[in-house]
Amino acid sequence: MYETVLQVPVIGMEWEQFALLVITAMAGGAFGAALGALPAFIFTGFVVFLGEGLAILQREVMDLPAIGQGELAAGVTGVIGFGAVTGPHIAFAGGVAASAYAGKKYPEMEPEGWDYHFGKNILYAFGTKPDILAVGAVFGVVGVVINQLSAAVLVVGGTGVTDSIALTVVASAFIARIVFGYPIVGRSAGGSLLDMSPFEREEPRVATDGGEVPEEHAGRLATEPWLPHQYKWSGVTAIGLVGGILGGYIWIQTGSIFMGYAISAMSLLFLNLGVEKIPVTHHITLVGAVGAVVVAPVAGSVVALLAAGVFGAVSGLLGEVTQRIFYAHSGTHVDPPAMAIALAMLVVGILAILGVLPNAGYL
């Protein structure tokens, strides 16, 4: 009875542990705002790479004395990489919310040559500006609460229904749009929400009432695809097949579902540094690895590798469809890879629960 009183309802975590997590999440969200959302996520990649490398070392080479099998790796990957320090639902989401806030509060901070709404600039490091760090801190707490609740509730028979971290990243971004006064979807400048042709024609944003465009939208393009170099269906499908196969192969050879994800996340360092046309692939390599995991038990490694390519292509296309609907027409970042992962893993989770798939990957 005493232990029950000390636990947080629904989440099933002791209050002291929950308080520790929340306080750290405040710092993690502020950290994401200080560095910028994308740089914070790149750190996620490096930390997860370290954790998965340790896991492979422990599995393949030796058991470290006085440390249980997998405990050290789980601590690095789960507690730090996907936890309150660099977890995407905390640090990245805090940075996204900070950009959304700054897009309304400080449009003058927009760097020269930025053609989109400043609220979408997830490369921008906000440094030590207290109010922006506070926004990041608040959304760090939002992230940890949503993730803990969804991880506790969205479970059927011991299997998660979807990726709770990806779901939290998406939910947090939509909350930021509501809180800071942005449209949830926005108005398409083309024939439909999926139409990217206004971007291809470099059409500027115009006021819907025919008047002057507000200062915060001055110079902004009418349609803003998530990645100007990665939005055409053929290219997205091609990189999806490639990334999916690589993610699947890494799992087949190492047993790590998240190593491909980590490599993809680390590769974004070059995108952040201004190298053009670096593809974004962490949703592709992760779901590709899951494709190999769910197919290998029934079809062998070669078919599993081909399935990984298909899963990767589907995830890439899900990211493109969701960016065209939810990213391109409003003024803040809603993460297409997180939407793709959440949707893909929702399908995997449901099919595993129904017994159609032999397992649910990492869920």
pLDDT, one tens digit per residue, over 293-341 is 999 999 989 999 999 999 999 999 999 999 999 999 999 999 999 999 9
Which pLDDT score is estimated for 112?
85
Which pLDDT score is estimated for 2?
43
Any idea of the CA torsion for 157, 158, 163, 168, to the nearest 10 degrees?
Answer: 90
Which pLDDT score is estimated for 67?
46
Which pLDDT score is estimated for 238?
98
- Which H or E run includes 8? strand 7-8
DSSP 207: -
DSSP 86: T
Average pLDDT over the chain, rounded to an integer: 89
Across 7-11, 123-127, 131-135, 271-275, least confident range: 7-11
Q: What angle do CA 43, 144, 323 make, to 5 degrees?
A: 65
Residue type, 118: F
Which pLDDT score is estimated for 73?
52
- 76 pLDDT tier (thresholds 50, 70, 90): confident
Name the residue with tokens 């009432």: 209
pLDDT for residue 290 is more than 80: yes
- Cα dist. 208→100, 191, 201, 205, 222 in Å? 22, 15, 19, 9, 11
Which pLDDT score is estimated for 214?
56
Q: What percent of the chain has pLDDT over 70?
A: 89
DSSP letters, 98-164, are HHHHHHHH-GGGPPTT--S-GGG-TT---TT-HHHHHHHHHHHHHHHHHHHHHHHHSEETTEESS-H
